[in-house]
A and B are shown apart, each in its own frame.
Chain A
Amino acid sequence: MGKILQVENLHVEIKTELGRIQAVRGVSFDLDKKETVAIVGESGSGKTITVKSVMQLLPSTGSITEGSVRLEGKELTTLSEKEMLKIRGSDISMIFQDPMTSLNPTMTVGNQIVEVLKNHRKDLSRDEMKRRAIEIIDLVGISNPETRFKQYPHQLSGGMRQRIIIAIALACDPKVLIADEPTTALDVTIQAQILDLMKELQEKINTSIIIITHNLGVVANIADRVYVMYGGKIVENGSVEDIFYHPQHPYTKGLLAAVPKLHEKTDKLFTILGTPPDLTDPPKGCPFAARCLYTLKVCRQYPPAFTPFENHHESACWLHDPRAKRMISEVRNAG
């Protein structure tokens, strides 16, 4: 199967009063047709900036300094804003974290869906657009779509607003749907509904999904493949099974161990000491070196390359290097 989206060696810088933040430092990832990929990481790891670069929606202070983003082979980073407008909302669309602020409070939800169709489906008449909007409201599982069409966002609950946002994003059957923390602001029972809805809609309209989240339970529920980000870099990627059952990178391992398990009794949670690195002056070597339990001298000086494991599973850590393995076993034997 051909790749729908390919991001290669992406570097993004953001200018602030405190200096240039190197928010994304050489990120590469790809997305297959009908696949769901999760990008996991803590706040400040660069995951949101990465997908905003794909959408060409960086803040005015931010810029892509290097790298390429290709949608079905077509380069997006060199497109003009006008050309990008045609792609946003029709080929790629995005849903944001907060369902309370991403809708326009002065417009009925129906008209907000019609607005997308007006921009991208000029072949439809006004009536057809309205019919299509009602159809989509129904598709995202909201009852009485005709009544809802005429309502304003404040008349809907949080879960329903998130459904409307999904409806807007899916209005033009996008090839790629980017969901940035789509369920973080919602309660667990509503979160379960939204995750089920996303999976159901993916089946129906054959979209590929990139989901950004810090909730590992959500990742386990929805993702096919996972990219783990830390300090502006991808540190590990692989199938969801490989990441959860055979994690290789110390950061991934730590992240998984820091979450309490519902079916196991643990006395104390595992903690990753310290805090994430300052990206105005990023560490020269591995971004995780300062917090890692197994830091070697080389970790602080040179960034590690990816080591491949079975089944397209990769991890960027010096510990996988044969020289490091030899050294560790020597130290063990000596001790």
Chain B
Amino acid sequence: MPDKQPLVSVKNLKKYFNVGKNLTLKAVDDVTFDIYPGETLGLVGESGCGKSTLGRTLIRLYHATDGEIWFDGMNLTKDLTSRESFQFTRRAQMIFQDPYASLNQRMKVMDIIAEGIDAHHLAADKKEREEMVVELLQTVGLQREHANRYPHEFSGGQRQRIGIARALAVNPDFVIADEPISALDVSIQAQIVNLLQDLQEKRGLTYLFIAHDLSMIKHISDRVGVMYLGSLVELTTADELFANSLHPYTQALLSAIPLADPNLEKSRKRIVLQGSLPSPINLGSGCRFASRCPQVTEVCKEVSPELIEVSPGHFVACHLTDR
């Protein structure tokens, strides 16, 4: 989609945390990518790779350490005026992972969903406010009578629907979904994913979908970015990534997913990575995957590879493809 203007443009974004004793945790380190209007960009990686930090930095829950985030012509990393900041909170919303912790249990569903409507004065009077909430409830597959209940009266899947209704209440353009289904049962996951897809078609939403479940990411995303230890190692269309992955980490990750097919599982050759994720505190130079990479070379240990477009729309950060 290079002919379109990106909705979100991330350039050399860094988010470091100071963890004391002059130690720095580089949660997101030099990440560059674009998100185009109407698409779903999936972001995968194992725990601790910085995918949630990236999502939270994009929506300004964290201040970026360095780099730029552009949202529809607005630079989010410089100090925004309160007016710009207010506008941004209407246009970008987030859906959280834990449907139990992300809803205020002392508030009724009506007030949870209407919080954004009230803040942005989207409803003229109380009656309109109520109508908007009921319509939102119906959009996400709940009923009118649910508005007057409290979160504890709902199941996990229903709570996640409430979280989605709350995000949609201000009519956003861009939604960040941070592991929206990983706390749910398999049959409920499919319900929520289908709902998110329907809403995207109807409202032209743009999604950043963060998850660790690769089969679900492939199902929902147009393009997928793979993160490892704070850096983006590969970025391409979902089909290309699964048919023709180039980064050794992506290949190992793909081969590690157990597939729901016993015969395939028996015959498949697996790339088993040795060891576990190294600590992201005070990393040395060189490729971050070098310590676990099965194809590591001398140069990998010294020089950190850059994200390069190896074929149209397919970006890889690896010395092996950089020849």
Q: Are A244 and B258 in contact (CB under 8 A)?
A: no
Bound-complex Cα distance A217 to B212 (A): 15
Task: Out of A192, A220, A255, A261, name the residue touching B215 (CB < 8 Å).
Answer: A261
Q: Which residues of B contact A241 (CB under 8 A)?
A: 262-263
- What is the CA–CA distance of A322 and B239 in the complex, to the nearest angstrom? 45
The verdict on A188 contacting B256 (CB below 8 Å), with A258-B189, A260-B219, A262-B242 known, is yes
- Is B121 part of the binding interface, using a Cβ–Cβ cutoff of 8 Å? no
Chain B CB within 8 A of A216 CB: yes
Q: Does B104 make an interface contact (CB < 8 A)?
A: no
The yes or no answer to B155 lying at the interface (CB within 8 A) is yes
Cα distance A260–B187 in the bound complex, in angstroms: 11
Q: Are B194's CB and A271's CB within 8 A?
A: yes
Contact, CB under 8 Å: B260 / A217: yes
Q: Using known A-B contacts A42-B185, A221-B265, A271-B194, determine if residue A191 contacts B260 with beta carbons closer than 8 Å.
A: no
Are A187 and B46 in touch, CB under 8 angstroms? yes
CB-CB contacts of A238-281 with B at 8 A, as 1s and 0s?
00110011000000001110111111011011111101000000
Q: How far is it, in angstroms, between the C-alpha of A2 and the C-alpha of B260 when the chains are bound?
A: 30
For residue B216, CB closer than 8 A to chain A, the reply is: yes
- Smallest CB-CB separation from A275: which chain B residue? B155
Cβ A217 vs Cβ B219 within 8 A: no
Residues of B within 8 Å of A245, CB to CB, are 262
Interface size grouping (class) on chain B: 35 or more
Closest to A268 in B: B194
Smallest Cβ distance from A204 to chain B, in angstroms? Answer: 18
Other-chain contact of A189, B46, B187, B260 (Cβ < 8 Å):
B46
Q: Which of B157, B265, B273 has the most CB of A within 10 A?
A: B265
Cα A262 to Cα B197 with chains together (Å): 18
- Interface: B253 (CB within 8 A): yes
CA of A266 to CA of B197, assembled, Å: 12
Contact B194 A215 (CB under 8 A): no
Say how far B250's CB is from chain A's closest CB, in angstroms.
Answer: 11
Q: Is the CB of B252 within 8 A of A43?
A: no
A308 to B272, CA, bound (A): 39
Question: Does B187 lie within 8 Å of A220, measured CB to CB?
Answer: no
Structural contact, A258 and B260, CB atoms closer than 8 A: no
Known A188-B212, A244-B262; contact A42-B186, beta-carbon cutoff 8 A: yes
User: Which stretch, A66-74, A154-162, A168-176, A295-303, touches the partner chain B?
Assistant: A154-162
Q: Chain B nearest CB: distance from A42 CB in Å?
A: 4
Query: Are A259 and B212 touching (Cβ within 8 A)?
Result: no
Encode contact with A along B150-191: 1 for CB under 8 Å, 0 otherwise.
Answer: 000001011000000000000000000000000001111111
- CB of A258 within 8 A of CB of B259, answer no
- Which B-chain residue is minimally distant from A192 (CB atoms)? B256
Contact A262 B194 (CB under 8 A): no
Among residues of A, the one whose C-beta sits closest to the C-beta of B276 is: A157
Partner of B270, one of A160, A192, A262, A269: A192
B195's nearest neighbour on chain A, judged by CB, is: A271
Which residues of B, 227-286, contact A by the 8 Å Cβ criterion? 239, 242, 252-265, 270, 272-273, 276-277
Please give me the residue from chain B that is nearest to A190 by CB atom: B276
Chain B residues with CB below 8 A from A195, complex form: 258
Closest to A272 in B: B187
Residue of B nearest to A158 (CB): B276
Hey, which chain B residues are within 8 Å of A266, CB to CB?
219
C-alpha gap A285/B84 in the complex (Å): 59
Q: How far is the CA of A192 from the CA of B188 in the complex (A)?
A: 25
Interface residues of B (CB under 8 A from A): 46-47, 155, 157-158, 185-191, 193-194, 197, 212, 214-216, 218-219, 239, 242, 252-265, 270, 272-273, 276-277
30 CB-based A-B contacts, threshold 8 Å? A42-B185, A42-B188, A43-B185, A157-B276, A157-B277, A158-B276, A187-B46, A187-B47, A187-B277, A188-B257, A189-B272, A190-B276, A191-B256, A192-B270, A196-B270, A214-B185, A215-B258, A220-B262, A220-B264, A223-B262, A244-B262, A254-B187, A259-B190, A262-B214, A262-B242, A262-B254, A269-B190, A270-B190, A271-B187, A272-B187
- 3 nearest CB pairs, A to B: A217-B258, A260-B219, A187-B46
